[in-house]
Structure 1
Amino acid sequence: MEETRLVLAAAALNQTPMDWDGNLKNIQDAITKAKNNNADILLLPELAVSGYGCEDMFLSPWLSEMAFEHLLQLKEWCDGITVAVGVSVFYKLKVYNTACVIKNKEIVGFTAKQFLANDGVHYEPRWFTPWPADVVEEFEVNGQRYPIGDIIYEEKGVKYAFEICEDAWRPNRPAERHMPKGVQLILNPSASHFALSKTDVRHRLVVDASKKYQCAYMYANLLGNEAGRMIYDGEVLIAQNGKLIRRNELLCFKDVDLECAEVCFSRNPTIEEVIEYLPPIDENKELMAALSLALFDYMRKSRSRGFVLSLSGGADSSACAVAVAEVARRGVESLGLEPFMKKALLFSPAEIAEVSALPEEQAQKALVKKLLTTAYQGTVNSSDDTYQSAKELAASIGAKFYNWTIDEVVRNYTSTIEEVLGRDLTWEQDDVTLQNIQARVRAPGIWMLANIQNGLLMATSNRSEASVGYATMDGDTAGGISPIAGIDKAFIRQFLIWAQQELGYIGLQYVNNLQPSAELRPAEEEQTDEKDLMPYEVLNQIERLAFHDRYSPLEVYDILLKDGVADGATLKGWITKYYSLWSRNQWKRDRYAPSFHLDDYNLDPRSWLRFPILSGGFREELQLLKDR
């Protein structure tokens, strides 16, 4: 074929389910940016019109009707350009996930997704119907007929087709059929959720496909915390013949992040620019970027007035505090100071002017002071070390810091129950009760601060604690968002050391020298989390083998024994404790505040892992372990 050059553009969008005005504004901005770059084709993410995370609302026919009305509105912006945008279509009483192609203000067709994601956090078959290969039909709206199905398009003599997200992850992917038909360009609109190091897999998927099929491949993902739990990294990739041409910076705070490249189509295309992509990813840096963006989007989309945190001086609450500080630092780095403050929906014009006049370090602390309110709620069992840890960290990042004790409130509850029972409560007989009341009475005061400020209260439980129920319901689990419930404790501990050393959060030096402890028993008992449970590294190994790799208790034992983790008797004790606590505490996991999906798995029954609240508790399985 003769040489043809196309300017290809792809944009990551920070959308919100059913925020029609906001979503269309982002789409319009992307189209304008693409036109300014003289783009021939613009690719937008999967289901960008309505938002990907509409969940069961997709089952309501009116939602697809609304989406189509807005599609007709946005097509009028597509003069002189071809735009591919994700939209749901209600057809023959079924819902289809499609990419609509608009060329010069005319709808050319709808390519329907053929493979639906149905693993991990995905439940697409609940809402959508897969489209069969090589089938094209028509549907009618307002007297106008449109083709829908497995369509091949053309732009200036270049044939192109689609793989919609999951389509590209299957062995019999659509590209296998498209290439023999002369397709030279594959477009992939996606809603591919964030997980640590997943970008490495996605990069190989795109680049390897462009090499295998000797084509150009363009990919556009959603960006930000779209609907509450899932985070999207906003990845944009353009590759050709096994070479990466464009890749953007992931997890930025923009609403629209667009990349363009001029691509040559011929028998031996000229590839003038190549990007060297060098893994591995720094997972600490990646986690901080995802967590801070997720918190920022959650705050502004929920119209919350900042964050409130019970800062205990321990690792978990310290991680939450630093994540909010990073909201300010990374937000300003990504957007600039004034645009960040405006987007946060938190600052008045006078405050924006005041902060803008400050030196950089003072401005950063001023932002955090507005974003984060903390409180240390001590008891007679609290140590001076954790108080210093909390106070110094808050001061170092600029957060508001309050300090009060809860001993009198604890005594009031305790004496009331002692009077009712006619006996004293003792640590020997009432250990868990006396621990829990301390954690639980911390909740009302911190909730009051959150209510007064219309702030978002952060719960501080991590994934390791959720796994075994090592948390007090309505105590440390109290909150409107549980940002680190998807991260294990061992990762958090090394993450905080990294944040101190690499990001300069010197206030973390205190918590990084402490052994994790709930500090709910008398000080002379020297309570630590790992004495109460088991080493966190071992807990995490059991958890992953049991619920990510899906091994039985006996198989977990055999694997850990072979790996030399501990002797047989010790392992049996740890594994028995783990499974017993896991099954007993599913009700707690069902009640956790919404959490983010950050790793390749999580324990949230509303997103990744369902388990019955009532079960046999692995009794027979653990007996087999005991008899080994």
Structure 2
Amino acid sequence: MQYARVATCALDQWALDFDGNLARTRRSIEEAKRQGARYRVGPELELSGYGCEDHFHEIDTFVHSAEALAELLQSGVMEDIICDVGIAILHNSVPYNCRALCLGKRILCIRPKLFLADDGNYREPRWFTRWERMGEVDEHRLCPALERATKQRTVPFGDCCIETLDTKLASETCEELFTPNSPHINLGLAGVELLGNGSGSHHELRKLHTRVDLIRSATEKSGGVYLYSNQLGCDGGRLLFDGCALIAVNGKVVAQGSQFSLKDVEVVVATIDLQEIRAYRISKASRGVQAAQAKKLHCVSVDFSISDPAGAHGRVSRPIEVRYHTPQEEIAFGPACWLWDYLRRSGASGFFLPLSGGADSSSTATIVGAMCRLVAEEAKVGTEQVIKDARRIVGEDPEGSAYLPVDPCEFANRIMHSAYLGTSNSSQGTQDFAKQLADTIGNYHLYVNIDPVVTAIFNLFVAVTGKTPRFRVHGGSYAENLALQNIQARFRMLMSYFLAQLLPWVRGNSGWLLVLGSGNVDEGLRGYLTKYDCSSADLNPIGGISKVDLKAFLHWASTKQGMGYKVLEDIASAPPTAELEPITDTHVQTDEEDMGMTYAELGWFGRLRKISHCGPVSMFKRLVVEWSSQDPKAVADKVKFFFKSYARNRHKATTLTPSVHCESYGVDDNRFDLRPIFVDPNFPWQFRKIDDLVARIRHAPPDATTARM
């Protein structure tokens, strides 16, 4: 037996918060040491925060990162423990995303990232350069702050590993785990037994399975220990980093942190037996053949042991069942953590939500309810940072107050404000739904009739033009009907911001409120929203979630196994409607009728457009097979109508409220979905090709349809 205690962690770091990031990094090292660990891995770019983006073009970001590492080294916290720290480093005036491996007051080596993330939400090559010289190492001249702290002038910089008295360990960084030829393959064959991955991996619905499978496979074929560290919470942007630090041994997970947490620091520790790794490797004959041919690594030797010969750490950590949340739980807790970080770091006093009683705004309200429950749970167990933040948000002295937010409804009443902004087109049913849900969560809730202002704007238009616009059901044109709807929608936005600024004052408090939006990802994709209406807000927790997933979430949240908000069952079952047109005996406005497509169809369009990278013709080819029960001409018409609607409304994506990224076919124009604002919505070449395919399919034998495309 050769037992070793190792640690990884999840940290809620914040872009450019060098004081806070340093403090949390130090706490994680102290906690790892308290639990007996002699090797600790931290998340990607933990000292600066991962999401600094173009601040990585500023020399100050690199200087302050080095200063923070210098303070960490000088503090003595890394005595008797090897620490793998994420940091941005300038080497020969080239910016690198690096891992600094340290022991005591020494930097053992600096390992730059070999493969940079450059798709989806990530633009790392915009800020960093990858290390191209595999297997090679330079001498890096330390900056003055690090030279003073370490008494070292240079350190090894490049593709290298650490060789202790009892094992070899090395680093991998985030994206490298996801590449086809990952560094861990060659590192494992070359004798590395402990591999740390400092990551900045964002949450996406149903993504954790993929991540865990990759971590398992990293050691399943070749043996070894994989320590996965991740950022946690909101780093200041549209992503939620979901933590879930893991330790895997020989393809089995032996320790797992929480996926969604309000804690700033979470440390995961395991006891491993180095002999088990070697025995596992010996049993793999084919691995032995390949390992014997492996290239030699550049190793930095250090007079230090990871293992404890006395076996003071007791039993070896054995495999556990990985805990996965359902998609409904992910919707409840992921955006809730994202909202909490924005609320506590923005200086706001709470939230305001225009609560219509429909599925979307009710989903947003429910997520705030989930956030309040998470806060209450942490308050009950005495989590100091959560209690301190909650006291400041509600206007109490963070240090001197005895207030504890242990009742989620009471806390919600202090920080969550909502209003039903009704008109003559609103129904009593949605008004009742909004009131019942607000009472269940604990919101401070108002009813506001906005008809007087809508009527005033209408009368002003009539006085100026001499024309009286009418709704469609009263004989008006499409333009009249749309304009009359938009008056109501846009005034709801104005009223929301007015209430958000003054409701704290009305209640005898100071501060201001963050306005929450509630447009889902499908409506953003279709452009089914009024520009600058109540979809315009400060934050939108559901802007990256599909309508299908939101309905499933509401059904779950209505049950005892979910959140017990019973009224959500009725809300989820009601037909989605904007309630902007008059209700008559023969007409009730519904979203799907207005859009000209169902939400289920929108999900197909979204996934094929973004995930499968389909243009109009390839999308038609896919759907004419998937929807084989439908007439090809009907499928073609739906595809054409989607692309026309998407192109005409693409400009709306530029003004979408910042939302937490949850869905892989999101339409966030600012970060994730980089396409032109204006293109020809008629797609003449593409649609002509679709028409040709429809004609060929209709004249082809039934079994030859797919072959002819």
Query: What range describes the TM-score normalised by the shorter chain of this pair?
Result: over 0.9
What SS class does the counterpart of residue 374 from structure 1 fall into?
strand
CA contact (8 A) 2:10 2:42 kept: yes
- Which sections of structure 1, spanning at least 5 residues, go unmatched? none
Among 346, 358, 373, the alignment partner of 2:393 is 346
**Mapped partners of 2:377, 2:630: distance in 1:** 46
Farther-moved stretch of structure 1 (450-459 vs 254-263): 450-459
1:200–1:279 Cα contact (<8 Å) kept: no
What's 1:110 paired with?
A: 110
Give 2:537's aligned residue: 479
Would the aligned equivalents of 1:253 and 1:335 in 2 still touch at CA under 8 Å?
no
1:34 deviates by 1.1
Give 1:623 shift.
Answer: 3.4
Task: Give TM-score, length-normalised by structure 1.
Answer: 0.95
Deviation at 1:492, TM superposition (A): 0.9
SS in 2 for 1:239: strand
Q: Could you tell which deviates more after superposition, 335-344 or 55-64?
A: 335-344
Offset of residue 337 of structure 1: 6.7
Contact 1:164 1:189 in 2 (8 A): yes
RMSD: 2.0
Counterpart of 1:612 (choices 663, 669, 676) is: 676
How far apart, CA to CA, are the structure 2 residues paired with 1:19 and 1:280? Answer: 31
Distance 1:284 1:96, change over 3 A: same
Q: Distance in 2 between matches of 1:451 and 1:608?
A: 31
| 15, 22, 25: which one aligns with 1:17 | 15
Q: Which protein shows a greater Rg?
A: 2
| Shift, 1:78, TM fit | 1.2
Name the CA distance, whole Å, in 2 between partners of 1:354 and 1:568. Answer: 68
Aligned residue identity for 1:342: K
- Taking the aligned partners of 2:610 and 2:227, their CA distance within structure 1 comes to 35
CA deviations 1:448-478 (Å, max 9, x no partner) are: 1212241110111111110111111121222
Within the candidate set 438, 445, 455, 2:488 is matched to: 438
1:419-568 equivalences under 5 Å are 419-427=463-471, 428-429=476-477, 430-452=480-502, 453=504, 454-501=512-559, 502-524=562-584, 525-533=587-595, 534-564=597-627, 566-568=630-632
Q: Does 1:29 align with 2:76?
A: no
| Residues 260-281 of structure 1: per-residue CA shift (max 9 Å, x gap) | 1111112327984323335764
* CA pair 504-175 structure 1, distance change in 2 beyond 3 A: same
- 2-structure distance, mates of 1:508, 1:405: 24
Q: Is the 8 A contact 1:212 1:242 kept in 2?
A: yes
Q: Which among 158, 162, 172 is matched to residue 149 of structure 1?
A: 158
Q: Hey, what does 1:195 align to over in structure 2?
A: 204
Aligned to 2:5: 7
Counting only pairs closer than 5 Å after superposition, residues 122-271 of structure 1 correspond to structure 2 as: 122-132=122-132, 133-140=134-141, 141-142=143-144, 144-266=153-275, 267-268=278-279
1:65 aligned to which of 43, 57, 63: 63
Distance 1:38 1:273 in 2: 14
In 2, the alpha carbon distance for the partners of 1:166 and 1:505 equals: 40
Matched position secondary structure for 1:503? coil
Does the CA-based 8 Å contact 1:114-1:131 persist in structure 2? yes
Paired residues for 1:395-434 under 5 Å? 395-427=439-471, 428-429=476-477, 430-434=480-484
Q: Secondary structure at the match of 1:441?
A: helix
Q: More displaced, 501-510 or 112-121? A: 501-510
Letter of the 2:363 counterpart: A
Match of 2:284 in 1: none
Aligned-partner Cα distance in 1 for 2:357–2:401 = 33
What is the letter of the counterpart of residue 134 of structure 1? Answer: G
Q: 1:619 to 1:180 in 2, by over 3 A?
A: same
| Contact 1:48-1:87 within 8 A present in 2 as well | yes
Return the alpha-carbon distance in structure 2 between the equivalents of residues 431 and 60 of structure 1: 51
Assess, with a 3 A threshold, how the Cα gap between structure 1 residues 504 and 572 changes in structure 2: closer, same or farther.
same
**Equivalent residues of 1:85, 1:101 under 8 A apart:** yes
- In structure 2, what residue type is equivalent to 1:223? L
Asked if the contact 1:138–1:147 (Cα under 8 Å) also holds between the matched residues in 2, the reply is yes
Q: Does the 8 A contact of 1:388 with 1:510 survive in 2?
A: no
Q: Which runs of 5+ in 2 are unaligned?
A: 148-152, 281-313, 505-511, 695-709
Report the equivalent of 1:584.
Answer: 648
- Equivalent residues of 1:228, 1:298 under 8 A apart: no
Q: Taking structure 2 as the reference length, what is the TM-score of the superposition?
A: 0.85
Checking the alignment, whether the CA contact within 8 Å between 1:4 and 1:158 is kept in structure 2 is no
Structure 1 residue 323 and structure 2 residue 367: aligned?
yes
Q: Secondary structure at the match of 1:595?
A: coil
Shift of 1:403: 0.6
Report % sequence identity: 31
| Matched residue, 2:638 | 574
Contact kept in structure 1, 2:420 and 2:447, CA below 8 Å? yes
Q: Distance in 2 between the 1:49 and 1:136 partners?
A: 24
Question: Cα distance, 1:350 vs. partner?
Answer: 7.5
- Tell me by how many angstroms 1:259 deviates: 0.9
* Aligned-pair CA distance for 1:292: 0.6
Deviations 1:54-73 (A, max 9, x none): 00111222211110011000
